[in-house]
Amino acid sequence: MQSRTDRGRLITLEGGEGAGKTTALKSIQTVLEEAGIRYVLTREPGGTAEAEAIRDLLLGAEHLEPITELLLMFASRREHINKVIEPALAAGLWVISDRYVDASYAYQGGGRGIDRHLIEQLDQAVVGPCQADLTLLLDIDPKLGMARIRHRPRTDRIENEQLAFFERVRQAYRQQARQHPERFRIIDASQAKNRVRGEIETILKDFVTATQHQQHQHQHESRHTDSHQPPIDKKPGPPDGH
């Protein structure tokens, strides 16, 4: 099995419409580039033909049962994982995804009211170990998020939901963050752009440093435990046979 440390890391961006996810991508890229880390940017549905086709069905349909929406979302995600995310991570690249699994807890769980246990089961079966290593939640009052994107044409089924829907989405995102404090960082996305950028850069730099530390630690340990490669500082044993 591939060692955990050879793999890339998966960073996900979450939050409501207009929170600043796309804007945040640039701050993340800056930090990774300065650290010399190779990465790929992606977003759900991830640009695979199959995932896009499923997604078109999902967003274009006039009406869908919430459960149908949930299953399509996970079907599309599975293709994205299989064809884009997993191969990149296995090749040692870092992956930044604009939205990922937490969005299902937020939109299909909080927004549509689907029981979170069902989402957890799908999460386990479909995403399994391919979980985010770091998730930035850009938390914002949906009224403010909406105001930021009022010029944007709203065409898809989910974007046309009412404010109460997006309030529930926000609360469900916050609940996800409480359940997974080890990988979530919540950012107050109502702040000015430069403050949001500053917070994201600090979080990313800390994460990069911690990851590099883990990797060095691991390399050090494997040098000292690998039987094919005796440690260089090993003292010669006592002469035998005398």
Ligand X SMILES: Nc1ncnc2c1ncn2[C@@H]1O[C@H](COP(=O)(O)OP(=O)(O)O)[C@@H](O)[C@H]1O
Between the alpha carbon of residue 125 and those of residues 3, 4, 26, 32, 218, the distances in Å are 22, 20, 32, 31, 29
Binding segment toward ligand X, per CB under 6 A, in 18-26, 107-115, 168-176, 211-219: 18-26
Measured between its terminal Cα atoms, the distance across the chain in Å is 44
Bridge partners of residue 41, in order along the sequence: 96
Q: Taking CB under 6 A as the rule, does residue 219 contact ligand X?
A: no
Neighbours of 159 (CB within 10 A): 14
CB of 166 to ligand X, least distance (A): 12
**Exactly one of 9, 11, 12, 15 binds ligand X (CB under 6 A); which one?**
15
* Token pair listed for 149: 């994107």
The stretch among 15-23, 33-41, 63-71, 168-176 that binds Mg ion (CB under 5 A) is 15-23
Reported as half-sphere exposure (CB side, CA atoms, 13 A), residue 232 has a value of 2
Residue 220 carries which side chain, given as an amino acid letter?
H
With CB under 6 A as the contact rule, the residue among 7, 43, 116, 148 that binds ligand X is 148
Angstrom distance (rounded) from CA 152 to CA 225: 57
The CA distance from 126 to 70, in Å, is: 12
- 23 binds, options ligand X, Mg ion, none, Cβ within 5 to 8 A by partner type: ligand X
Site string for ligand X, 19-58 (x = CB under 6 A): xxxxx-----------------------------------
Dig out the tokens for 115 from the structure.
């029981």
Beta carbon nearer to ligand X, 20 or 109: 20
Q: Which of the choices ligand X, Mg ion, none does residue 215 contact, using the CB cut-off of 5 to 8 A by kind?
A: none
The alpha-carbon radius of gyration of the chain (Å, integer) is 21
The residue (of 52 and 159) whose beta carbon lies closer to ligand X is: 159
Determine which residue in the list 3, 6, 22, 224 makes contact with Mg ion, applying CB under 5 A.
22
For binding to ligand X (CB under 6 A), which residues are involved? 15, 17-23, 148-149, 191-193, 196
What residue ranges bind Mg ion (CB under 5 A)?
Answer: 21-22
